[in-house]
Structure 1
């Protein structure tokens, strides 16, 4: 039996949009599926600019842990939603 892979079309209706952190200027791609779910795509330049990310990586040392959140970027994303620069897919 051959399994087929279903295409991921979640970004078709609302793609990720650029959002710049108001603290450090790091620009990421973000998408708000709901008030509780945010997807963030980092690139190398944004990772290098984010002080919270750099601190987390330094503190992790050899124990590589995933970076979960930057409070300054989270506030910048919330501000982008508030002014209409970033829409919420499930706008309820």
Structure 2
């Protein structure tokens, strides 16, 4: 195996991230306020959520958040408990796929 030297101008090959192409995020609407977000549940423990501006405005828990600081980026929003429950219920009912439970989309590497 050849090693790269600090003067080697060739960057290492990067693999394209196709996870969202294979298994895209799915819309889920909060059962409490109706805010619709995009969700991808990679495992029982890991959930990715993309909030849109309309969903952030519609979320009851987000709108009830009071600033804790005047400094930028200090007003953390840990998430909405009602939306968290909605996502868990959707996964339990099979309406939202938990990818760790799904069959792999690419074959495993063959041993040499």
Correspondence for 2:56 = 47
- Structure with more relative contact order (C-alpha pairs < 8 Å, separation 6 or more): 1
- Stretches of structure 2 that go unaligned for 5 or more consecutive residues are 1-8, 103-112
Correspondence for 1:87 = 97
Q: With structure 1 as the length reference, what TM-score do the two structures score?
A: 0.84
Residue 33 of structure 1: how far off its partner (Å): 0.2
Query: Which structure has greater helix proportion?
Result: 1
- Stretches of structure 1 that go unaligned for 5 or more consecutive residues are none
Residues 64-84 of structure 1, C-alpha deviation per residue, up to 9 Å, x if partnerless? 334232100000001111221
CA distance in structure 2 between the aligned counterparts of 1:36 and 1:66, rounded to whole angstroms: 21
**Change over 3 Å in CA distance of 1:2–1:55 after alignment to 2:** farther
Larger radius of gyration: 2
> Superposed, which structure 2 residues align to 1:9-48 within 5 Å?
9-48=18-57
Q: How many residue pairs are counted as aligned between the two chains?
A: 91
